[in-house]
Amino acid sequence: MRINWLGKRQIAGLFLVLSLVFIQLAPPNSAVKGVLERLDGLLYDARLKLSLHLRPEYTDPKIVIVDLDEASFKVEGRWPWSRAKTATLVENLLDAGAIVIGFDVLFSEPELNPLNQLEAYFPNHNDETWLAVKQQVDPDSRFAASIAQGDVVLGALFEQDAAYTNGIPPVSIVAVQTEVDQARITALPFDGYIGSVDTFKPSAQGEGFINSVPDRDGFIRRAALFVQYQEQLYPSLALEVARIYSLADEIKVNVEPYQGWYHLLSLNFNGQNIETDQHGRVIVPYRGPRNSFPYISATDVLQQNIPQDLLTDAIVLVGTSAVGLADLRATPVGIQYPGVEIHANVIEGLLNPDLFSFQPDMADWLIVSYLLLFGVIMALVMPGLGPKKMAFWGSCLLMISLLINYHLWTQAKLSLPLTTVILLCVLLSLMNIAVGFFNESSQRKRIKGMFDQYVPPAHIDKMLASPDSISLAGERKTLSVLFSDIRGFTDLSENMSANDLKLYLNRYFSPITKTILSYQGTIDKYVGDMVMAFWGAPIDDPKHATNAIQTAFKMLEVTENLNQELIKEDLPAIAIGIGINSGEMNVGDMGSEFRRAYTVLGDAVNLASRLESLTKFYGVEILVGENTKQLAQDTYEFMLVDQVKVKGKDIATKVYQPLAEKKELTDSQKLELEQYSKAYQAYLEQDWHSAEIEFNKLSDNYPGTKLYNLYKERICQLKQADISEHWNGVFIHTEK
């Protein structure tokens, strides 16, 4: 099958682009999407770390973490502590100036009052004194009283299984801007709820869930601000702490309808609009690695060993960094990262919304648009480039893509995936480079296999160095072509056996071939005793005519040297005739599906063959066409032999005999050329008497020169003939 404007490499590139598009749009729960999300996550982590130094630094509000750490457990005892001790912790925090306290721990079970265990031993345990004492020593009552003294937000946990439900959540403070069925809102749904004991809820200012929402690879890059439970939206601990700190009565949420559901769009908070994804999640605006926020050990708070002003007007989060309490998370900025510090980052973002980056729900389609636009361009353009240019432009596009992505992240706060974009640049470049090298290697082998018997080794080296510059397809070029034939070969071959003839010809062809190759010629073919060669292809040769003539003279010299050996062996000497012509001709890899050859075709080629045949007629060893003479006249001296019409041609052409290089022309040759020019001019002017006298002189001075005797015979005939007044000296050859 033949492909017109689309080649196989373009089609392969387009197929790769479409494959990446399908990967980008793979179903959310598919294995392919899981791998893609993992790779996107790793790239997101790298980008986040690279840009942390650009993150604005805020000191207001002050966010401090009270750490239930190993040192606290060593001094105060193992967790859970008595609610009485936790009450002391709250009281000391409030006394130190904390404005809002958020607990990243659960108080889901009531603590046993010690007097409950003694009631069986005191028959009057229901009197007023007993009940008053019981109330005073009740740890839960003590804790409830402590949190009532300030703005405290308690933690809750939502579960997927309804069997794990314990308690009833408080009234939701999340209001949807539009009257919709909240059961159709696409917030993360839960069926179970575990909250604080009922004793604490009236005293607390609010309650927020402490669930983490890791990506599929377990890393926490996003945080849910809302979850859905029993057709209501409930806030996270971070959102509720930020609400209390901002003195807001409620949180307003914007949604938009989509295929029967309502996607979460944003929340109106503290006078600003904060965008979320369709599930109510935001990208955690990490300040930096672990301990980017100030920490203080819980035991130091209990012992009132608090640095001055550390907690003044601060938001305080109580959580743990202890390994045993299993609240260490994998995040982009650290593996063993305390969960409580994740809440701190989200709170800082909610109070300073410019910290948030946003990945739109249509991010996949934005990436698909990019893949289609640049992918199609790369797929169509790259196959036409060389391997180095492919690598260069592929690298440039990759760097541009990375810089655009980084710019959108740092300046526009827009987070877009990167994996398929990188794969597009890398895979398309690698595929085209690999195929390019493979094709280049194949082309080099093809060139070497096609030409190493026909062109000089230096030509092959040049072609292999830049195979793209060599055209094996048919093209029209101005070249010089040479035909050489052995005179009297038919008679010679009849007197030899087949094997002797083969050996005889091989002795001739070997030095002749070497000569042609040494002067940058390309061997076209051998046909019997005939050799055909040309100059100017496949490697351009601006001196193709000069090189062809130089080769012809060298062939005569080589043949003369060979004849000396042949004569010593009583073998017949070889005489050759050479015809050379220059002009436009078709050159390329031609033939059939069974056999092909790199050859030349055209009228200029045919004329060279005719000139080789005419060498015997005129008695000269080399004849060249008029174009060849024009191209080489700065180097060689020529003698006009005749103006002829060869068989099959209606247009006359001048044929020349190259005498020698101008710098090597002898005085004898100059004199002969001068005499011949005078004789030929008289011949053209039909001054038969003068012409006959001059040619007789030439014949006497250079006996055995067939050309002069030929003109003498022709003049005798012309004197008797009725010549047209338009006669111009053209001789018509009726035989090849």
Terminal Cα-to-Cα distance of the chain (whole angstroms): 44
Q: Which ranges of 619-687 does DSSP label H, i.e. alpha helix? A: 626-632, 667-684
Does pLDDT of 77 surpass 80? yes
From CA 375, how far away is CA 422, in angstroms rounded? 11
Does pLDDT of 459 surpass 70? no
Lowest mean pLDDT among 97-101, 169-173, 547-551, 656-660: 169-173
From CA 108, how far away is CA 110, in angstroms rounded? 7
- Say which residues have a Cβ less than 8 Å from residue 601's Cβ, sequence separation at least 6: 585, 586, 587, 590
Rg (CA), the chain: 50
Inter-residue contact 576 to 562 (CB < 8 Å): no
What is the pLDDT at residue 4?
42
What is the reported pTM?
0.66
In terms of average pLDDT, the best of 2-16, 132-146, 618-632 is 618-632
From CA 668, how far away is CA 684, in angstroms rounded? 24
Inter-residue contact 579 to 615 (CB < 8 Å): yes
What is the pLDDT at residue 235?
96
Lowest mean pLDDT among 70-74, 291-295, 441-445, 613-617: 441-445
Given pLDDT bands bounded at 50, 70 and 90, which one contains residue 466? low
How confident is the model over 635-663, as a mean pLDDT?
A: 91
**Residue 320 C-alpha from the chain's centroid:** 47
Does pLDDT of 166 surpass 70? yes
Q: What is the mean pLDDT of the chain?
A: 88
Residues of the chain with CATH 3.30.70.1230: 471-664
Helix (H, G, I), strand (E, B) or coil at 471: coil
Q: How many CB atoms lie within 10 A of CB 81?
A: 20
Domain 471-664 falls under CATH 3.30.300.250 = no
Nearest to 544 by CA among 509, 510, 601, 585: 585
What is the pLDDT at residue 63?
97
From CA 605, how far away is CA 480, in angstroms rounded? 8
What is the pLDDT at residue 650?
75
What is the pLDDT at residue 449?
57
Nearest to 347 by CA among 234, 235, 473: 235
Lowest mean pLDDT among 145-154, 156-165, 454-463: 454-463
Place of tokens 């440039």: 396
What is the pLDDT at residue 377?
87
What is the pLDDT at residue 713?
93
Nearest to 143 by CA among 130, 134, 152: 152
What is the pLDDT at residue 441?
62
Inter-residue contact 255 to 267 (CB < 8 Å): no
Q: Phi-psi region for residue 280, left (φ > 0), alpha (ψ -120 to 50) or beta?
A: left
Q: How many CB atoms lie within 10 A of CB 354?
A: 10
In degrees and rounded to multiples of 5, residue 706 shows phi and psi of -65, -35
Inter-residue contact 156 to 196 (CB < 8 Å): yes
Inter-residue contact 373 to 404 (CB < 8 Å): no
pLDDT in tens, 484-529: 999 988 888 888 888 889 999 999 999 999 999 889 898 888 888 9
Does pLDDT of 564 surpass 60? yes
pLDDT in tens, 240-264: 999 999 999 899 999 999 888 999 9
Does pLDDT of 142 surpass 60? yes
From CA 225, how far away is CA 223, in angstroms rounded? 6
From CA 535, how far away is CA 523, in angstroms rounded? 9
Helix (H) / strand (E) containing 601: strand 596-601
Nearest to 537 by CA among 580, 579, 585, 578: 585
In degrees and rounded to multiples of 5, residue 549 shows phi and psi of -65, -40
Place of tokens 């672990």: 290
How many helices and strands, by DSSP H and E, does the chain display? 21, 27
- Alpha-carbon torsion (625, 628, 630, 636), positive or negative: negative
Given pLDDT bands bounded at 50, 70 and 90, which one contains residue 203? very high
Nearest to 629 by CA among 701, 579, 693: 579
Question: DSSP label at 337?
Answer: E
Specify the pairing of strand 622-625 against strand 596-601: unpaired
Does pLDDT of 432 surpass 70? yes
Place of tokens 């295929």: 259
Inter-residue contact 173 to 250 (CB < 8 Å): yes
Given pLDDT bands bounded at 50, 70 and 90, which one contains residue 448? low
pLDDT in tens, 336-366: 999 999 999 999 999 999 999 999 888 899 9
Inter-residue contact 13 to 378 (CB < 8 Å): yes
Inter-residue contact 169 to 114 (CB < 8 Å): no
Nearest to 404 by CA among 373, 439, 432, 361: 373
Does pLDDT of 237 surpass 80? yes
Does pLDDT of 651 surpass 80? yes
What is the pLDDT at residue 181?
87
How confident is the model over 129-152, as a mean pLDDT?
A: 80
Q: Which ranges of 357-418 does DSSP label H, i.e. alpha helix? A: 363-381, 387-410
Place of tokens 């069986």: 120
More confident residue, 74 or 495: 74
What is the pLDDT at residue 457?
56
**Residue 361 C-alpha from the chain's centroid:** 28
Does pLDDT of 132 surpass 70? no
How confident is the model over 62-67, as a mean pLDDT?
A: 96
Place of tokens 């436009």: 584
More confident residue, 77 or 5: 77
Lowest mean pLDDT among 130-139, 455-464, 607-616: 455-464
Does pLDDT of 279 surpass 60? yes
What is the pLDDT at residue 461?
55
Given pLDDT bands bounded at 50, 70 and 90, which one contains residue 3? very low
From CA 501, how far away is CA 10, in angstroms rounded? 54
How confident is the model over 527-541, as a mean pLDDT?
A: 90
What is the pLDDT at residue 2?
39
How confident is the model over 365-378, as a mean pLDDT?
A: 90
Given pLDDT bands bounded at 50, 70 and 90, which one contains residue 393? confident
What is the pLDDT at residue 647?
74
Helix (H) / strand (E) containing 514: helix 498-518
What is the pLDDT at residue 451?
55
